[in-house]
Structure 1
């Protein structure tokens, strides 16, 4: 069974508990002066979505003892344009409380990074202060992706729709996604190949679509590859979570567009 299949089986159980136990307690402020889409499209430098990621199924523990607020504040101070918070607990050791704490600490867009399969997860992400949610094309049939996409936008949330191959990219385009994340990691095997972004980005010929390169981005050379492929943003997790000098690491990744 693949990594993704195992994660989704566990996520189904989690969502059933969520439906039984979750009660909304009033929304946090999530409105931004500029959306992530607008911010990234107007930027003159590569936009970094800096991720708070304690662990992963492929790498195990990365930085379990991290203080999400301190990490988020450092990301903001040193030039990230958005923050991704992994809220999955079973495989990534994150929590929705991490997202809420980060929301109270920074003023720019926050991505709720999770395996979203039901509307209630979107409601919870909104309540805890997310501005953007992740939908993964490999995780759901097209009709459910479309339903959840429309539901998120009805809640004034943006959607990063993640794809890994040509079929998934076509689905994202048909749904009307304007923020498409190209994941260099195959969620079935967890192997990483930066050429995935280079290959798929060539198939997007519209200037109004924001492309984000995800996974395997470790240094300036990798960011340059992503820029030449046509992306305007990169999502970086492990590299930043392991960095001993966030100021220098982020400065190295924030290259100017040609």
Structure 2
């Protein structure tokens, strides 16, 4: 039986084929030198008070449906930055999450903090798209990629000066992710096959991660008690979207979550 992740990946193959028909990979790469300069995503998290906050611009999801009706991505991004977010994550998947690459492009023009393309990336084409749009980092999901793809896409992102946040859920993927040499690793507390979420998953996986790797806990983080627990366990950053996007005042929600004035 196919999972939602299987459906998403099948859709990505269709989207990439259509995009290549419109603009060749070579033509896309030729635009990269004109892209905005890269801002250090990992460097920003390393220099932030821990845990750093990657605040996510997210309109909808397959599990939650529509999250925010009054969705203005640029305004939301500005509110995140003013409230003290370290970095931004921007959903660009159109079919399942009602995102768009244009959201990232527009946001990058008005904020000073680094921005990540949150997407189901399976091809170099998507990374080139991200860099042209101004992304400083891309998400790579271990469960979506074999070893050859993971190493190739990680290397390609770095060749463009970008960071790559490699995310995993399954414990058996820890060794193959660390084999890339990454210093930025995300632990998704939500199983992408079932969409069941547990914050405890971060602590289970963390036991297998070297101290020199900056850990990002993702999903299921919704209050300051969660932040305090993650801080006490030495987690380097958190990625939070849905719980912030549901609040009427996003700036206040960020400050309440992080415990800042």
In the TM superposition, 1:48-127 aligns within 5 A as: 48-127=53-132
Find out whether 1:221 has 2:225 as its counterpart: yes
Instruction: Verify the 8 A CA contact 2:48 2:86 in the aligned structure 1.
Output: no
Describe the shift of the 1:64–1:87 C-alpha distance in structure 2 as closer, same or farther (beyond 3 A): farther
Determine the structure 2 residue equivalent to 1:152. 157
Instruction: Verify the 8 A CA contact 1:132 1:157 in the aligned structure 2.
Output: yes
Determine the structure 1 residue equivalent to 2:249. 245
Cα-Cα RMSD:
1.4
CA distance in 2, matches of 1:18, 1:43: 37
Instruction: Verify the 8 A CA contact 2:104 2:117 in the aligned structure 1.
Output: yes
Describe the shift of the 1:251–1:169 C-alpha distance in structure 2 as closer, same or farther (beyond 3 A): same
Instruction: Verify the 8 A CA contact 2:44 2:114 in the aligned structure 1.
Output: no
Instruction: Verify the 8 A CA contact 1:164 1:185 in the aligned structure 2.
Output: yes
CA distance in 2, matches of 1:88, 1:153: 22
Deviation digits for residues 124-171 of structure 1, max 9, x if unmatched? 000000000000000011111111000110011100000112211111
TM-score using structure 2 length: 0.93
TM-score using structure 1 length: 0.94
Find out whether 1:17 has 2:22 as its counterpart: no
Determine the structure 2 residue equivalent to 1:6. 7
CA distance in 1, matches of 2:79, 2:225: 23
CA distance in 2, matches of 1:94, 1:36: 21
Instruction: Verify the 8 A CA contact 1:52 1:83 in the aligned structure 2.
Output: yes
Determine the structure 1 residue equivalent to 2:137. 132
Deviation digits for residues 159-218 of structure 1, max 9, x if unmatched? 000011221111111111110000000001111011110111111133x21100000110
CA distance in 1, matches of 2:35, 2:96: 27
Describe the shift of the 1:188–1:221 C-alpha distance in structure 2 as closer, same or farther (beyond 3 A): same
Instruction: Verify the 8 A CA contact 1:163 1:183 in the aligned structure 2.
Output: yes
Deviation at 1:255, TM superposition (A): 4.8
Unaligned runs of 5+ in 1: none
CA distance in 1, matches of 2:3, 2:228: 31
